[in-house]
Amino acid sequence: MNHKIIYKKAYEETQKHLERLKTAFIVINRYIFTNTLKSFTFIHYEEKKEYL
């Protein structure tokens, strides 16, 4: 009985941490994605300026 309670608590803690990791991962990915897009558009803009 005691082991089951301990296991359940550990499981819940793990789930909480996994959720946090997932959120952090999504946030980081979004940040990287937007930054990459910004730098790409910036480079593209700079190239166009040279042609004009």
pLDDT at 18: 94
Stated pTM of the model: 0.51
Q: How many CB atoms lie within 10 A of CB 3?
A: 7
- 35 Cβ contact partners less than 8 Å away, ≥ 6 residues apart: none
Q: What is the pLDDT of residues 17-49, one digit of tens each?
A: 999 999 999 999 998 888 888 887 777 676 666
Q: Give the number of domains in the chain.
A: 1
Q: Residue 52: is its pLDDT beyond 60?
A: no
**49: region left, alpha or beta (phi > 0 left; psi from -120 to 50 alpha):** alpha
pLDDT at 51: 58
Which domain, by its residues, includes 10? 1-52
